[in-house]
Structure 1
Amino acid sequence: MVRSLVTGLCLAVFAAVIIGLSNTLGLDLEHVALLGAALGGVLGLVPHRPAWGKLAGFFVGFVLAWVGFALRAAVLPDSSAGRAVAAFVVVALVAVVATVSDGRLPLWSGLVGAASIVGAYESVYTNAPSQFLSESPAAATTVLLAVGLGFLATTLLAPQGAATGADTAGPRHRAASPAPADPDLTLDDLTTGAAQ
């Protein structure tokens, strides 16, 4: 309980720092401060082994969603159908990367990465799709800075408790012994093969 409070307070301070940096340095971070701090906090709080996997998964999802915007700007029609195709391609590719990596790059972190650029850039893109090349780098760097500070708050400043092996083990590190039939199996157990 205390750890959650300290972590939340660290994130709150960093969200305020992000807005303060925005004003001091003339950056446009205010509209992504809470989004970035929250998503960076999630990235830092969710245990995963190997630890680099969740960061790599985040960046894969981030880049794929950015490429999705490029597809929308260059090839796809500016309609619901175009947005649907781009969303399908991005989420499908994130899922393929998670599968090919055998769980080292978790699906959830790829989705968090995609959500971060979409949350920061979608409204800007909708207002001026033709400005993709000039506007998207600014949106990407500002949200990455906010996510980085949120991640920093949860991984370096917040106290870390001793996690159990079951909480931190990825699918490759779980016990391979067969488990008895359990009515309380989770979807994660079924998708990672831990239920076999």
Structure 2
Amino acid sequence: MVKSLVTGLCLAVFAAVIIGLSNLLGLDLEHVALLGAALGGVLGLVPHRPAWGKVVGFLVGFLLAWLGFALRAAVLPDSSSGRAVAAFVVVALIAVVAAVSRGRLPLWSGLVGAASIVGAYESVYTNAPSQFLSESPAAATTVLLAVGLGFLATNLLAAQTDSSTPGTVRRTNGKPTKRAEASGSNTNLDDLVTGATK
């Protein structure tokens, strides 16, 4: 409970810092500060092995969704059918990448990556589809910066709390080397999926 509160407060501070940086550096981060901090927090908090897999999965989903906007701008009609085709292609490709990677690049992180660019750029794209080449890079870089700061916040905090938490399950080559204490067993999602805990 305390860890969740501290992590949430840390993310709140980082969201405020993102907005402060936006004003200080003349960047357009205000509208993506909460979105980026929240999605970066999710990316940092959800456990996955290997750890780099969730980051690469995020970037793949982000890139595929950005290419979905390019597909809409270049080929598809600006209608609900065009948006439906683009959404289908993007989500299907993210699922294929996750399947081909055999779970190393998790589906959820690819979807988070797609959601970040869509959340930051969809309204801008809707207002001016013909400005895709000039507007989308700015939206992409601003939301990536916000996500990166949110990810950094949760990882810095997790590194400090994990080293001081008693009964944490440690792993060597995917196998537990120390069991959680019976009084305070902490089972994470990866352990449930792999069946490492009983």
User: Which TM-score band (shorter chain)?
Assistant: 0.7 to 0.9
Q: Distance in 1 between matches of 2:24 and 2:169?
A: 39
The amino acid that maps onto 1:174 is: T
Q: Distance in 2 between matches of 1:78 and 1:163?
A: 51
Q: Distance in 1 between matches of 2:15 and 2:66?
A: 24
Structure 1 runs not aligned, ≥5 long: 180-196
TM-score, normalised to structure 2's length? 0.84
5 Å-filtered alignment, 1:63-74, equals 63-74=63-74
* CA displacement at 1:163 relative to structure 2: 5.1
Structure 2 residue aligned with 1:152: 152
Structure 2 residue aligned with 1:20: 20
Structure 2 residue aligned with 1:191: none
Q: Indicate if the aligned counterparts of 1:50 and 1:170 stay in contact, CA closer than 8 A.
A: no
Structure 1 residue aligned with 2:140: 140
Structure 1 residue aligned with 2:125: 125
Q: Distance in 2 between matches of 1:21 and 1:55?
A: 24
Structure 1 residue aligned with 2:51: 51
State the structure with bigger RCO (CA 8 A, min sep 6), 1 or 2. Answer: 1
Pair 1:107–1:163, CA change in 2 (3 A): farther
Q: Is 1:9 aligned to residue 30 of structure 2?
A: no
Structure 2 residue aligned with 1:167: 188
* CA displacement at 1:127 relative to structure 2: 0.3
Q: Distance in 2 between matches of 1:168 and 1:48?
A: 8
Structure 2 residue aligned with 1:76: 76
* CA deviation map 1:122-163 (0-9, x unaligned): 000000000000000000000000000000010113433535
Q: Distance in 2 between matches of 1:29 and 1:168?
A: 32
* CA displacement at 1:175 relative to structure 2: 5.4
Superposition RMSD in Å: 2.0
* CA displacement at 1:86 relative to structure 2: 0.1
Q: Is 1:114 aligned to residue 134 of structure 2?
A: no
Q: Distance in 2 between matches of 1:112 and 1:2?
A: 26
Q: Indicate if the aligned counterparts of 1:120 and 1:140 stay in contact, CA closer than 8 A.
A: yes
Q: Distance in 2 between matches of 1:30 and 1:19?
A: 5
